[in-house]
Amino acid sequence: MNIAIIIAGGSGKRMLQDIPKQFLTVDDIPVIVYTLEAFQKNAQIDEICVVTLTGWTDVVKAYAKQFGITKLTHVCLGGEVGQQSIFNGLMCIKDIAHDDDAILIHDAIRPMVSQEIINDCITKCREYGNAISVIPCNEVMLKSTNDVYSDLCVPRDNLKRTQTPQAVLFKQFLELHQEAKEKGITASIATASLLTELGHRVYYSLGSEKNIKLTTPDDLDIFKALLHSKRSDWIHA
């Protein structure tokens, strides 16, 4: 099987709203529903688990019923940090997951994830054991220690920007988190960082500039624009 674990545990303080950003509505549809619909309609995804905040589990279940997210089978609470939330998700699905299942971790606040991104993540995970969605770094990168100035430019040719989904086979995922626990690593910010912190290689899968993460009000504006945009006929993919 291929199982998606959607991480919806953030409070979203930088969005400056009264409710968590994953539950904000755009065109009368909650952000998390756009994300769930992408995995619902993917033919390769068998089950969906949502990891969310205290007080929001019933909301997630209600949205699933309202918007026809029939693949949602598990909802559980997140932890204090992202690493704990992912582990909670893994524990939530352990009774249905098999060792060789591909487990895709995805941010609830990346609602523009495409079918091509999901499919390539699964393909690369099954080929290499893990897969991290990435895009090239097209900007000039500066390194600073004080947020005031920089005197060092980092060559961008060697840099990638990570996104989600990030996938690992289930058995390896459990072993990864057990290894982290044994080594005292408790607050790794993403699966990609946890893999590298423990000395594992990460393998690239397809990402996209459109696969944006909704962190600030500006991101929400971009998301709204993308929802209503259409590529010109003369532009080829």
The DSSP secondary structure of 35-57, one letter per residue, reads HHHHHHT-TT--EEEEEE-TT-H
In the beta sheet, which residues pair with residue 25?
30
Q: How many domains does the chain have?
A: 1
Q: Which of 226, 67, 41 is nearest to 119 (CA)?
A: 41
Task: Give the Cα separation of 46 and 64 in Å (integer).
Answer: 15
Q: How confident is the model at residue 230, as a pLDDT?
A: 72
How confident is the model at residue 234, as a pLDDT? 62
Residue 64: count of CB within 10 angstroms of its CB: 21
Does a structural domain hold residue 235? no
Any domain includes 236: no
> Phi and psi at residue 60, in whole multiples of 5°?
-60, -45
For residue 4, which of 83, 128, 161, 118 has the smallest C-alpha distance? 118
Q: What is the mean pLDDT of residues 66-71?
A: 98
As a whole number of angstroms, the distance between CA 94 and CA 89 comes to 9
Q: Is residue 179 part of a domain?
A: yes
Q: Is residue 29 part of a domain?
A: yes
* Measured distance CA(120)–CA(204) in Å, rounded: 9
Q: Is residue 232 part of a domain?
A: no
The pair of structure tokens assigned to 16 is 């400056």
Mean pLDDT of 202-209: 98
pLDDT tens readout for residues 151-190: 999 999 889 999 999 999 999 999 999 999 999 999 999 9
> In the prediction, which pLDDT does 16 show?
52
Q: 139: which 2 tokens? A: 């900007």
pLDDT at 9: 87
Which pairing describes strands 2-8 and 47-52: parallel, antiparallel, or unpaired? parallel
Q: Which residue has the higher pLDDT, 228 or 42?
A: 42
Q: Is residue 237 a part of any domain in this protein?
A: no
pLDDT confidence bin for 13, thresholds 50/70/90: low
Residue 6, domain member (yes or no): yes
CATH number, position 21: 3.90.550.10
Domain that holds residue 222: 2-227
Give the predicted TM-score (pTM) of the model: 0.94
**Helices (DSSP H) in the chain: which residue ranges?**
31-40, 57-67, 82-92, 115-128, 170-182, 191-197, 217-227
Answer yes or no: is 234 within a domain: no
Rounded to whole angstroms, how far apart are CA atoms 111 and 215? Answer: 12
Element housing 237 (H / E): none
